Each structure stands twice: as C-alpha cells, then as structure tokens.
Amino acid sequence: MASSGQAPQLPPNALEDRAATVIGVVAFCLLFATCMVGLRIWTRKKIINQLGLDDYACVAGLLVTYGSGISIAHMTRYGLGKHVYVMNPTDIPLYLRDFYLSIIFYCAALLAVKLTFLFQYYRVLAVQQMRIVYLVAIVVVGGWALSQLLVGIFICHPIQGFWDSTLGATCIPNIPQWYINAAGNIITDIAVFVLPLPAIWKLQLGKQQKILLLCIFSLGFFTVMISMIRIRYLKLFEDFPWENVDSSLWSIGELCSALTCACLPTLRPFLARHFPSLGTIVGASSSGSTSKSGKNSKSGVGSRHTDLESAKHHGIKSSTGDDGSEVELAGTNSNKAGGPLSVNPGHCRGASEDNTSIDSYNNNSPDGLDLTPHPRGVGARTSIRRAGPEVLQR
C-alpha cells in the first residue's frame, strides 16, 4: 500500500521537452528576417542611396519582432515546451509575464509591418488616383493595428494582474479577444496585399513580366495562410506550456514571413548589381512589346543598337565604360516627341512619335516600378542609361 507522502505518478510523456525546437525555430526565423531586412537597407542606402519612411518602418518591425521572438525563447526557461505536470508552480507568473511581453511585441510588429507595406505602395505606385486610397488604408489599417496593440497592453487592470493572480485584476477575456484580433488581422492583411494588384495589372508590360510582378507582390498571401493556420491553436489548454508551443512558433513565423514579403520587391537593384542574370528577369519586358508609332521594338542586342542609333540621331552623346558597354548617354536636346529614352539590356523604352509612352515600367524608380507621370515637352533633358541600380546621369 502506497504511503500518503508518495508523489503522484506522472503520465508516460510527462518528461517530454520541446524547448530546443522553440529556440531553434525562433533563431532561424529571426536570422532569415534579419538577412532580408539587411539586404533591403543595403540596397536602399548603399546602392541607390534613397531611404524612405517604409524602410524605417521595416527596421522598426524587425526590432519589435526580435522582442517577440526573444520573449518566446525566454519562456522556455519557465516551462514553455514542457508539460504542466513537471512545471514549477513558482515559474507560472514568470512564464505569463514573458507571454504578455510576446503578445505586446507581436501586436507592435504587425503594426510596423502593415505600415511598411502601405508606405511602400504610396512611394512606388504613386499614381494620383491611388494616393487617396493608400492614405485611407494607412489610417484604417494603422488604426486597427494600433487599437489591438493598446488592447494588448491594457488587457488587465492593473497590468500586472495578467501574470500576478494575487492582485485580483479585472481582465478582458482571452476568448473571444484572441479570435477577434486574429480575424481583424486576416481581413486587414488581405486588404493590404490586394491594394497594389490593380495598379500592377494596369502596367503596360508583357504578360509574362506582369504575371511575375503580380506573383512577387502576392507572396504576402502566404502570411495570410499562416495567420489562418495560427487560429486553430488559439485556445485555452490545460497543458498550456506544452500546447502553446505551436501558437508561439506560428506567430513568430507569421511576423518573419511578412517582413520577408515586404523586402522582396525592393531587392531588384541588388540583384541587378550582383546577379545580373536574375536582375534582368524582372527588369526586362517581354519581346512582344511594340511602340504605337508602328515601329517594332525588338528585345535583345538589335533593339539596343537601334535605340542607341536613334539617340545619336537626336544629338545625344555616348561614352563607354570600363566593361565596354555604354554607361552614359546624355544630351541637352530632347527628341521631337519630348519623351525620355532609356536603355537597358534586352529592352528599350521611350516615347513614340505621337508622344505616347511605350512602357510605363520605368527603371528610374529605385524599385523598378514607377507610375508617377513624367513631364514631357520641349526642353526636357533626355538621358539614356544602362539599366541597373543607380542612375549615372539624368
């Protein structure tokens, strides 16, 4: 007969530990997101020397994502990844404190990442009729994300009551608050990722290149899928330190995925400089594009030669770089059409004789996309440059 002082028998799986998995996944996600944001900042600062508000928001998003990831990893010290049967009761308040911090940093990261996307749209896809749409989206989406951050901070009164049950705090119930938060984030994420698609579809591009750009900008829907998967783990479990591993890892994965998707469209100049064969996949239009003046615009070397000869006909002088390619062609006289001429490997863009733009995919934009109307007319400075990350002379 067992004595009254004998410890209760534990389940067979009581000693399982997933702490190493938590730390490994968090470290990998943060490292990958850091590399992507680092490449973005390097491209925007060192290659094209043009940091914008979206870049600062992206860095802020990475920093608070680190806060969420470190909080999750630190929770393993107090029981995350273990079963509640072996958890030290004195560690529960410390576990809940780190859990609270991970929620706050998660909400702050979502706010920063959503604003990164919207600021980027406003900068790159700056057609006049869409600016109001982007500004409204910044207010609405930013307001929602900020409200969820404030709810997360003040979910209990006093705040310490979230992890200290002895205070008798009044708290907003986790259910349905978690579901409301998740549903709102999914809706706003879909809205953010859908916003640029109509503007991209209207670009005067070849079908293949247009589909490629749509695919790049649609990668954000992968983040939406992660958010949907994460919902199934938003429950109150009895064995909470063990079951909370899945929701925590999906949360950090969601944030790092969103940061990655925000950085990808800005890396074209980096690819053009260090991996030219990859950079020209995005930079070159399909060979089927033709000018409205009735003259064929063929892709490849012949196209480039033709447009260079046309440029020289309009009084534009050329120079040759160290690698033997034209790196600067500029003149003070504009062509009769008044449209800017630009040259890049595989495709030449400009204006037809009726002053109609052949292609609105403009390499003057640092990211390769620019829908901003460009002035045309007598006296406009004409330039031809090699497609790449920097403008040599404009």
Say which CATH number the domain at 199 has.
1.20.1070
Rounded average pLDDT over 343-360: 36
Query: Distance between CA atoms of 189 and 170, rounded to whole angstroms?
Result: 31
Q: Between 178 and 28, where is the model more confident?
A: 28
> What is the span of the domain harbouring residue 176?
19-266
Domain co-membership, 220 together with 368: no
Rounded average pLDDT over 367-387: 41
Q: Between 192 and 277, where is the model more confident?
A: 192
Residue 382: per-residue pLDDT: 36
Cα four-point dihedral sign 27, 32, 35, 38: negative
Residue 318: per-residue pLDDT: 41
Query: Does position 1 have pLDDT exceeding 80, yes or no?
Result: no
Domain co-membership, 163 together with 295: no
Q: Is residue 277 part of a domain?
A: no
Residue 5: per-residue pLDDT: 53
Domain co-membership, 251 together with 356: no
Domain co-membership, 242 together with 293: no
Residue 298: per-residue pLDDT: 40
Provide the CA 218 distance to its chain's centre, in angstroms.
Answer: 10
Please count the structural domains in the chain.
2
Q: Between 356 and 65, where is the model more confident?
A: 65
Among 13-17, 77-81, 114-118, 362-366, the minimum mean pLDDT is found in 362-366
Rounded average pLDDT over 173-198: 88
Name, of 96-105, 268-277, 337-346, the range with top average pLDDT: 96-105
Residue 387: per-residue pLDDT: 40
Domain co-membership, 91 together with 205: yes
Name the band, by pLDDT with cuts 50, 70 and 90, for residue 201: confident
Domain co-membership, 208 together with 159: yes
Rounded average pLDDT over 187-214: 83
Name the band, by pLDDT with cuts 50, 70 and 90, for residue 372: very low
Contacts of 323 (CB under 8 A, 6+ apart): none
Domain co-membership, 257 together with 338: no
Query: Does position 109 have pLDDT exceeding 90, yes or no?
Result: yes
Q: What is the pTM of this model?
A: 0.71
Query: Does position 299 have pLDDT exceeding 70, yes or no?
Result: no
Residue 277: per-residue pLDDT: 76
Residue 238: per-residue pLDDT: 83
Residue 174: per-residue pLDDT: 81
Closest alpha carbon to 17 in 90, 80, 71: 80
Domain co-membership, 189 together with 306: no
Name the band, by pLDDT with cuts 50, 70 and 90, for residue 311: very low
What letter would DSSP give residue 17? B
Domain co-membership, 217 together with 299: no
Rounded average pLDDT over 9-13: 75
Residue 278: per-residue pLDDT: 67
Tens digit of pLDDT for each residue in 12-59? 777 899 999 999 999 999 999 999 999 999 999 999 999 999 999 999
Q: In percent, how much of the chain has pLDDT > 70?
A: 68
Q: Is residue 255 part of a domain?
A: yes
Two tokens, residue 185: 């984030």
Query: Distance between CA atoms of 139 and 144, rounded to whole angstroms?
Result: 8
Domain co-membership, 217 together with 310: no
- Residue bearing tokens 């064995």: 239
Query: Distance between CA atoms of 293 and 353, rounded to whole angstroms?
Result: 6
Name the CA dihedral angle for 170, 174, 179, 184, rounded to a multiple of 10 degrees.
Answer: 40
Q: Is residue 273 part of a domain?
A: no
Cis status of the peptide bond prior to 375, with omega within 30 of 0 = no
Query: Distance between CA atoms of 30 and 69, rounded to whole angstroms?
Result: 7
Name the band, by pLDDT with cuts 50, 70 and 90, for residue 367: low
Residue 371: per-residue pLDDT: 42
Last residue of a domain, one of 208, 232, 266: 266
Residue 280: per-residue pLDDT: 59
Domain co-membership, 262 together with 304: no
Q: Is residue 194 part of a domain?
A: yes
Contacts of 11 (CB under 8 A, 6+ apart): 83, 85
Query: Does position 295 have pLDDT exceeding 80, yes or no?
Result: no
Query: Does position 364 have pLDDT exceeding 70, yes or no?
Result: no
Query: Does position 242 have pLDDT exceeding 70, yes or no?
Result: yes
Domain co-membership, 343 together with 227: no
Name the band, by pLDDT with cuts 50, 70 and 90, for residue 249: very high
Q: Is residue 9 part of a domain?
A: no
Residue type, 306: T
Residue type, 374: H
Name the band, by pLDDT with cuts 50, 70 and 90, for residue 80: very high
Q: Is residue 13 part of a domain?
A: no
Whole-number mean pLDDT of the chain? 75
Contact criterion met (CB below 8 Å) for 108 and 64: yes
Rounded average pLDDT over 156-170: 93
Which helix (H) or strand (E) segment holds residue 72: the answer is helix 53-75
